[in-house]
Amino acid sequence: MEKLIAVANQKGGVGKTTTAVNLAAAIAGRGHRVLLVDIDPQGNATSGLGVRVDEEDPTTYEVLLEAVGVERALRSTEITGLDVMPADPRLAGAEIELVDLPRREGRLAAATQTLDGAYDYVFIDSPPSLGLLTLNALTAARSVLVPIQCEYYALEGLGRLLETVDRVRESLNPSLEVEGILLTMYDSRLNLSLQVAEEARHYFGDRVYKTMIPRNVRLGEAPSFGRPVTLYDPHCIGAASYFGLAEEMIGHD
């Protein structure tokens, strides 16, 4: 059975896309078949994997509106074993267009069910909101991975996210679990990073991954080359930390 993991946090810029792209690439590098679904109109996961979307290309938007089947929207990437369902700014319209449609939160779930075991891992990169797009991600997923940035107010808003997860579990997706909390942009020289890590472990215990993602410029540079860091600079500390996270995740399965 494939693992379906939504990467979500309504707070912006916490490392959702960086995690989705690089963890997906690291797991594909271990020989697994991986799909990354981009359900963010910013399309950062799409461009970060070097995939260009032209106007006539089917994307997550067409899949959610049931204008095309999933397989029409899938694109291969430079990484063996890693495909992407791309997104572009058109997807912003779905947030409004879906409101009056039936099964509006269950569209991605229905679509991913038709994948029929083609992938071992499916990651979904969510936008920084708790709107219909994120609800589709949480309804399709078996679990949610929450990146939190080791910064001021890191845990602020986390309560609302976990309440949303509970609400989705009660109404739309009874088997949804919290996969894990990931500390990102960690800087061991900063007291603040240490404090955030300590506080997260205090509240969430062993749901916090042992692997922490350090602040690393290579992670910031890689997307402008349309490559995951595991390809852009496989020996940097950022790549090593995502390979470590992949090991930790595969080890739990």
Q: Which residues bind ligand ATP (CB under 6 A)?
A: 12-18, 40, 42, 44, 128, 184-185, 213, 215-216, 219-220, 223
In the DSSP assignment, the letter for residue 101 is S
Among Mg ion, ligand ATP, none, the one that 46 touches (CB under a kind-dependent 5 to 8 A) is: none
From 16, 32, 107, 215, residue interacting with Mg ion (rule: CB under 5 A): 16
Distance CA 64, CA 87 (A): 11
Instruction: Identify which range of 9-17, 108-116, 164-172, 189-197 contacts Mg ion by CB under 5 A.
Output: 9-17
- To Mg ion, the closest distance from the beta carbon of 149 in angstroms equals 12
Number of H helices and number of E strands within the chain? 12, 7
Dihedral of CA atoms 18, 20, 21, 27 in degrees, nearest 10, equals 130
Residue 12 neighbours by CB distance under 10 Å: 11
Distance CA 69, CA 207 (A): 35
CB closer to ligand ATP, 59 vs 216: 216
CB closer to ligand ATP, 197 vs 219: 219
Distance CA 75, CA 226 (A): 14
Which 3 state secondary structure label does DSSP give 227? coil
Among Mg ion, ligand ATP, none, the one that 216 touches (CB under a kind-dependent 5 to 8 A) is: ligand ATP
- To ligand ATP, the closest distance from the beta carbon of 91 in angstroms equals 13
Q: Does 126 bind Mg ion (CB under 5 A)?
A: no
Site string for Mg ion, 40-59 (x = CB under 5 A): ----x---------------
Distance CA 234, CA 130 (A): 34
